Amino acid sequence: MEGMPGPVVYHDPAIARVEAFLFGGQPAFEWAGASPSLALSEILHACYGCYYPMIYAAPALLWLGITGRDRTAELRARDFGETVLALEACFFVCFFVFVMFPVQGPRYLGVPAGIPDGPVRRMVLFLLQTGSSRGAAFPSSHVAVIVTQVAMAIQFQRGGGWASLVIAVGLALGAVYGGFHYAVDAIAGALLGVAVVPLAGAFRRRADLAATGFTSTPGAA
């Protein structure tokens, strides 16, 4: 009908060409078959599944004051606000790209040949089948968000950030090994996660300066 939107055009072929240029193949379809280890598969899938609780971990610990650092309530509130701002910015950029440049991701095009099937992988697949969206593969929001959270935790939470970095690396590798994302998706997600952190800090410092200038000169014209 006239005025109705047309079919969604997915850009997987473009991503696959970049993938082949960078890696000489398609890691999301080939890696698991080349290294069919059940133990490796379950560990990487477990890291990938950790994304869901880790979305909330860094902000929740800051909100509860569990940081391992001697910070006043006011400073913890600022840390919390900056962390949430970085997280929101990360999600916003991801969702904008999903709309403008939809990519299905490998799992919609076929299961990687030879990938071991275990209970952790089946749990992750269940979560994705019930809650994921088609066309939301590039950049990997899983990787982008977890990198953002790790970077913020390293700044504001003693010890926890470095511990979560190990999980983040496993998550990024699991995204490709499990056939959920192209390697390019994971790389783009990591770059986005790194990029939003200084932007959130700059915005917070700008807001602090504006608030200080306003309150220090209440009678200024």
Residue 211 has a pLDDT of 67
Preceding peptide of 139 cis, ω within 30°: yes
Q: Residue 18 domain-assigned?
A: no
Helix, strand, coil percentages in the chain from 3-state DSSP, rounded to 5 = 70, 0, 30
Residue 84 located in a structural domain: yes
> Domain for residue 60, yes or no?
yes
Query: Would residue 182 count as lying in a domain?
Result: yes
End-to-end Cα distance, the chain: 58
Closest C-alpha to 128, from 179, 168, 169, 167: 179
Dig out the tokens for 139 from the structure.
Answer: 């950049």
DSSP states of 166-181: HHHHHHHHHHHHTTSS
CA 169 from chain centre, in angstroms, equals: 11
Tell me which residue range forms the domain holding 139: 38-205
pLDDT-flagged residues of the chain (< 50): 1, 215-221
| pLDDT for the residue 119 | 96
Q: Which amino acid is at 133?
A: S
**Structural domain contains residue 139:** yes
Domain presence at residue 50: yes
Q: How many domains does the chain have?
A: 1
Residue 215: inside a domain: no
Residue 98 lies in a domain: yes
Q: pTM for the full model?
A: 0.87
d(CA 90, CA 84): 10
For position 213, what pLDDT does the model report? Answer: 62
Closest by CA position to 129, among listed 107, 109, 150, 148: 107
